[in-house]
Amino acid sequence: MSNFNLSWDNFFGNEPAVDYLRKNLAENIFPHAVIFSGIEGVGKRLAAEICAAALLCENPRDGAPCGVCDNCNLTAAHTHPDFYIVEAEETKTARNIKIGQIRDMQSEAALMPINSARRVVIIDGAELMNKAAANCLLKTLEEPPGQTIFILLTTNLSSLLMTIRSRCGTVRFDKLSAASIRDVLISKGVEDRDAGKFAAIANGSLGQALKFSTSDGAALRDKALDILNKLIANKLTNEEIFTAGAKFAEWSREKFANFIVHLQRLLRDVCFVGELEPYNSDIAARLAEMKLPERKIFLMIETGVEYRKRLRSNANLRLLAEAYLFQLRKIYGG
């Protein structure tokens, strides 16, 4: 079956969503526009591409692509002439989808299909459309090309225009349980102990857990916890900050941004212990023992947001990292 991987057998969790999609595909009643909503890493993109393959397949079976026809293999390779993907582009300030990208897509969507009976468009990160792009897409959804199906992926449903949401069906992809993520990781060869840790801090995202298993994601959480412990114990000295800054200078900007996210999540868990489901369930008891004023927690989280934005500039990473830690210490001691 060549290298075809767009199979429901490769999809984990969210059985109700999968059953709904397969039923619609099998009965040929797939909506002309649908939103897949859920946190990053729960499989929205994979589900969308499997649906695209089934919709373009020459011989779909029970709501699934056959995996052997030319259309299936072209879809999997992202070279199918009737398959179009729109993704956010990086800019100096943020990732977004611009109106030019939507217009280019509209030009393609307006054409008659070449290989199949229809066209399929995936818009990945639909919440990242700027206002002009969103309004441009809305016009297409109001008068959709009869042969084109649109699948919008979003991690923030409420950020989409209500007028867009009202013209689309919505399929929700829930967070996965830590136990199910752990089982998947073990099946992929991750050691039991590590699998449990990665699953616990992945916040229901299999994709995030898989990243942790192939990178130092868990070590970043441990480093963030170390900084937080030193801050609370008044041991985040100038020397500690300068030593940490030298280490951070060796990192990529993305890695340091992820470090900040881990620290923000730890702070959030400390603030809402016993009230909200923790991001760091494996150390929830330890975090519950930390005593931090709520006002200071919020200020430190806001500081993290600010410094993640600053990372998009050309400022020296070491100086930024040191300034971030000094600011955290100032907030805690103030």
- Specify which residues 121 forms β-bridges with: 84, 150
Tens digits of residue pLDDT in 25-62: 999 999 999 999 999 999 999 999 999 999 999 999 99
Residue 244: pLDDT band (50, 70, 90) is very high
Higher pLDDT residue, 96 or 216? 96
d(CA 70, CA 87): 25
Ramachandran category for residue 172: left, alpha or beta (phi over 0 → left; psi -120 to 50 → alpha) = beta
State yes or no: pLDDT of 227 exceeds 90. yes
| Average pLDDT score, the chain | 91
Least confident of 103-112, 222-231, 272-281, 303-312: 272-281
Could you give the maximum distance between any two Cα atoms of the chain, in Å?
Answer: 67
Q: Where are the alpha helices (DSSP H) in the chain?
A: 15-26, 44-56, 70-76, 99-109, 131-142, 162-165, 178-187, 192-201, 206-214, 217-232, 238-248, 253-271, 284-288, 294-310, 317-333
Contact 55, 96 (CB under 8 A): no
Percent of the chain whose pLDDT exceeds 70: 97
Look up the pTM and report it. 0.79
Tens digits of residue pLDDT in 166-176: 999 999 999 99
Mean pLDDT of 176-193: 88
* Domain locations in the chain as residue ranges: 8-172, 176-213, 216-333
- Note the pLDDT of residue 1: 42
CATH of 8-172, one of 3.20.20.70, 3.90.1150.10, 2.60.40.640, 3.40.50.300: 3.40.50.300
Tens digits of residue pLDDT in 129-168: 999 999 999 999 988 888 899 999 999 999 999 999 999 9
- Note the pLDDT of residue 92: 59
CATH 1.20.140.10 describes domain 216-333: no
